[in-house]
Structure 1
Amino acid sequence: MTMTRRTFTKLAAASAMSGLAAPAIAQGNREIKMILNWRYQGPQSWFFLADDKGYFAEAGIDMVMDQGSGSGAAVGQVAGGAYDVGFGDVNALIRLAATNPDEAPICVYQMYNKPPFTVAVLSDSDIMTAEDLEGRLLGGAPNDGALKLFPAFANLAGLDTSSIEILNFQSSLREQMLRTEQVEGVFGYVNTIRFSAKLSGMNPDEDIRFISYGDYGMDLYSNGMIIPKAMAENEPEMVKGMIWAINEGVKDTLADLDAAVDSVAAREPLINKEVEKERLIATLQDEMNHPELATTGLGAVDPERFATSIDIVVEADQLPRTPDASEVYTDAFLPAEEDRIYSLL
């Protein structure tokens, strides 16, 4: 997947529209611990660029970023107090808000606005549609966002899950388990699987078929910045500064993809920079490029679509209550809209 020269021109122009200073907060850096959704890869580059360019420091934050074990897990780790901030799946947050509203954190910057959830199967498999998953052995990491959403997906797709067996294993084994046919399908984010498979020696365009949740009516948001409600209430200026810093990191990523990948390599020297650049571009185009972006700007949600996505999760998972959108997401800490309009096409 490649970007055109026109695309880079658009990205650079969008990036040049920066100009906003960090929100003023008290002197002295506040240490913040962030748990990422996954390992250090291309799509985490904006966090590292924000750190390398001093944006967090300018906002009075000493940001400590740890690798994650899944987007769903990040929400629980923030809710449980192990981390101050998480880059996690808003659908896991919806489930927590429906079942334990007092414990649930809140999303303050929605980044992935297209559903990346999928079941990947080998292209020579006879699994062609969601219905073909019945009676199969599937597998994934327990905290994987796609696996956690599978009951909801199965409900929407009309699947009989009693005939489906699911094997749990470490996320690092996923592509190997699929390639060696120890399972017939694996759960994950489409670009995580695609490029991890590529690194393992597979050709994802020829060797893998994706059964995508979005093709069956699950038009959901996914990853965003998750914080405790107490932080939102007690440290609003610090939260504004943190979101400003991340937003600046995104713009710098769009302006210079190679520098963005270099920032990841500074933390994880063993990455394949060429593959991680491809993964980054695919994430920008496939997971962050919903048409609504042109009017809402990155970080915001479309209220009607977001309410519908909550209803989908609640109904499909048969949750005990429907949380109000304000329990799950707030735009109170976003930079100005004109500073969040990016052209990713």
Structure 2
Amino acid sequence: MRRLTRTVAAAALAAALALVAGCSGDSDKSDAKGAGDSLEKVTYLTSFGNFGRDSYAWVAKEKGFFKEAGFDVDIKPGQGTGSVIQTITGGQADFGPIDLTGGILQLGNGEAKDFVAVAAIQQRTMAAIVSVEGKNIATPKDLEGKKLADTPFSVVRNLFPTYARLAGIDGSKVTWVNGEAQALMGMLGSGAVDGIGQFVVGQPTVEAVTKKKPVVLPYSNVMQDLYGNALITSTKIAKEKPEMVKRFVGALLKGLEYSLEHPQEAADLLKKNVDATNPAAAKAELELMAAYVRSSNSGTAIGTLDSGRVAKSIALLRGAGALKQDLTPDQIIDLNLAPKA
């Protein structure tokens, strides 16, 4: 009798354990966002190639920030503001950073639509013309008669007419040629062009590639209040998946903040994923970028957007004759999805 009782008890215990295990497995599958097939697949574009300034996306992936937020992210190199906008609004990517001023130009001139900015990456524009010593370029006026290279969709190139007007340059005397994002510095180093469209933080990489001292003409010297890069998504995703957008923004900005605090590690993680990376140059880019990412207002969170500042940017471009139609800030930014100040 005792043997029979023990046998029945053991069978009952086994059945109970199997039932609990089955319930636990179902619960894990329904609740866990960080494992296997439960992760939401997202395609992310960098702003411009794979330089140190864009390493924070790789950091967010490698450190598990995207996974913790429920995402499996495929990171692809972008080719500048216009190209990133086209790829996202065309449905081939979900998120990517663009220069916000470039986005205003695209939207206000009818060249793009159906996208919205949901977080600031840099609080000030980093757009610039970069040359090297020996090209006889020291001031904006020196660009006249010179040959510059950039991607067709870069904000530096598309904002140049406004920059030229405000800086006193005769834009008709400047020649632009096309170049891929990753090839521009090589073109400058070989002497094929006199300058390139670039971000100010690209100085260390330019010097590493060209072996010459960079000469930088920042657009911010003549255009104040302009934001730098801002994260965008399509208006469709913003409308249909607002909570998903907030989760992605949070994970990406976590990667951005970590990268600024640990630039060497961020550079090493970029090198792990992009073999052509120069870790020393990538680290230096991040160190230079920190001042552009953090707001001058103490305590303001990374990623915040201000409709008043966007309105000033629109007014500046409108006043310079760079916009065919007027815009309001809510046509290009969504403060409901952006981090709160």
Pair in the same fold by TM > 0.5: yes
From 194, 202, 208, the equivalent of 1:199 is: 208
User: Which structure is larger by alpha-carbon Rg, 1 or 2?
Assistant: 2
**Which shows bigger deviation, 91-100 or 208-217?**
91-100
- Alignment of 1:291 onto 2:281: no
RMSD: 2.4
Name 2:256's counterpart in structure 1: 250
Matched with 1:94 is 104
Q: Is the 8 A contact 2:259 2:286 kept in 1?
A: no
Higher-helix-fraction structure: 2
- Match of residue 144 from structure 1: 154
In the TM superposition, 1:1-345 aligns within 5 A as: 28-100=38-110, 103-192=113-202, 194-203=203-212, 207-285=213-291, 287-292=292-297, 294-335=298-339, 337=341
CA contact (8 A) 1:72 1:148 kept: no
> Cα distance, 1:335 vs. partner?
4.3
Contact in 2 for aligned 1:151/1:317 (Cα 8 Å): no
Q: Would the aligned equivalents of 2:87 and 2:93 in 1 still touch at CA under 8 Å? A: yes
C-alpha distance in 2 between matches for 1:73 and 1:306: 22
Report how far residue 178 of structure 1 moved: 2.6
Residue 68 of structure 1 deviates from its aligned partner by 1.5
Q: Where does the alignment leave 5 or more consecutive residues of structure 2 unmatched?
A: 1-30
| Partner-residue secondary structure (3-state), 1:149 | helix
Instruction: Look up the equivalent residue of 2:237 and give its one-letter code.
Output: M
> Cα gap change, 1:218/1:178 in structure 2, threshold over 3 Å: closer, same or farther?
farther
Aligned residue pair count? 307
Identity of aligned residues (%): 24
- Contact 1:34–1:63, Cα closer than 8 Å, also in 2: yes
Residue type matched to 1:63 in 2? V
Query: SS in structure 2 opposite 1:266?
Result: helix
TM-score by length of 1: 0.80
Describe the shift of the 1:247–1:139 C-alpha distance in structure 2 as closer, same or farther (beyond 3 A).
Answer: closer
- Deviation per CA, 1:117-159, whole angstroms, max 9, x where unpaired? 1112333333322122223322222222211110111122232
Contact 1:71–1:223 under 8 Å retained in 2: no
Check whether the contact 1:73–1:88 (CA below 8 A) recurs between aligned residues: no
The superposition leaves residues 285-312 of structure 1 with CA deviations (integer Å, 9 ceiling, x where unpaired) of 3x324424x2542211333322111222
More deviation in 297-306 or 79-88? 297-306
From the superposition, tell whether residues 26 and 99 of structure 1 become closer, same or farther in structure 2 (CA, over 3 Å): farther
| Distance (Å, rounded) in 2 between the aligned partners of 1:225 and 1:134 | 34
Residue ranges of structure 1 left out of the alignment (5+ in a row):
1-24, 338-345
SS at match of 1:56: helix
d(CA) in 1 for partners of 2:299, 2:315? 23
Amino acid aligned to 1:291: S
C-alpha separation in 1, matches of 2:32 and 2:338: 19
Greater relative CO, 1 or 2 (CA 8 Å, sep 6+):
1
Q: Hey, what's the Cα distance between the residues in 1 that align with 2:96 and 2:123?
A: 17
1:18-50 CA-partner distances (Å, limit 9, x unpaired): xxxxxxx99632211111112333222322222
Partner letter of residue 202 of structure 1? K
TM-score, length-normalised on structure 2? 0.81
CA contact (8 A) 1:70 1:143 kept: yes
Change (3 A) 1:91 1:266: same
